[in-house]
Structure 1
Amino acid sequence: MASSGTQSIEIFETLFCGSRNHTKTYEDLIGLEVSGAMKNPIAIACGIASGIPECGSNFEGELISLGYSEIITLLKALEIPIQPVQEYGLADLIASCTSRYSRNKAYGHRFVHKLISGEDRPNLIERIELFFNPAEFIQKEVSQSESHVEGAFALASIISLAEEKKWKFHFMIHSFKYLLEEFLQRNSFVSYLSPRRMKFIIFPKSLQNVPVWEWLREKNFKKP
């Protein structure tokens, strides 16, 4: 629990006190809010990974590790104490990324399942948008969903802030592009573009010097 008021902390401690509860209080409201917002896109990424056959639990563990390190990086950049977040934030992150009750992870898994099954097959324009701007596509798609998936709305803000401040959040910026581009190039674009035409797809400059190009080269893609 976190609160800036001593009285509030005392009230909630009294309410939740019990032999079966372990409670700890903090005064760091901003750190709690920032870490709480950043954990949700990481949970979506883990959900996406869980829906891709080639990705195992060890890969999801790596996503959690990378995401957590970027949470700490952002807190340091904003000059927010990291010690409290290292306590409550890590536990919250792991729960959101691994629990079967996690809305954000469940959304990421359903998102990929719909694409694989063809249940909600996007049209050509939507696929192009998904390829180049996955954050915006996911945000629009989830706005039509009945479930409240905070991570979809937090992702665009986090990426925008990182680009504005020139912070290197490789995981947040590229994780969805890595996961969704690999999936789309094997499943979505194939039905619309021949291998010859695929060579002329223009990729974002931000991706031209990252490992995703190794995968592209194996699939006979050419850098523009």
Structure 2
Amino acid sequence: MLVLLSGCSKGTAHVTVNKNGSVDFAVNMKVNSRAEALISGKMEDALVNKLKDQGIELEKSQDGKSTVYEFMKSYASFEEMKALSGDLDIVDLKLDTKDYWFYTKYDVEAKPKLNSYIDTIMDNMGSLSLSKPIIRAFLQNMAFDFKLTLPVDLYGDNNANVEDGRTLTWNVTLADTEPIQMQVYVPNVWNIVIVLIILVVVIVTAIILFVRKRKQRNRKRF
């Protein structure tokens, strides 16, 4: 039964950071009839209500014999996203910041805590014909792709499964213990501007001095 159920779902969670600092968060999950039997009912109602509390509407559609669940939410900033998420504690986040003259390096380590919610998920499913060990094993093997897209390619070292330009993709399961790791390099724009201004001033000054010396030499000749 576990072999039949594994691979019955495929999902993507995509966080896109825009140039103006806003954030788009989109989730798409496609499940077949076997997985749909586990999700429908109390679990689906609990998910709908939880999203409504955050002003998000869950859309449900059919794709052949599969059911597609999806939603999208845009936030003005990460601060707004964090504030509206309330007490949704699903990630242990470690952030190490190192400031350099031209850029700031961020070492990010995010460890999903989704496995801690499996018991709560099972409690919301109601009575099912499958035993709890099978359901738990199925939930732990549910996989999805987590994608992160930045306005420009600022990534350094990372443990993403796929790196495609401005987008990194990690394959995650509910039972994952491996943290998401990446380095992000953010330019210090004002410091760069200051250096450019200084260089321009130095170059202009050098040109002026060169022109003056040349004029003085020409005068001495005459």
Q: Same fold (TM over 0.5)?
A: no
TM-score, length basis structure 2: 0.29
Comparing both structures, which one devotes a greater share of its residues to strand? 2
Comparing both structures, which one devotes a greater share of its residues to helix? 1
Max radius of gyration: which structure? 2
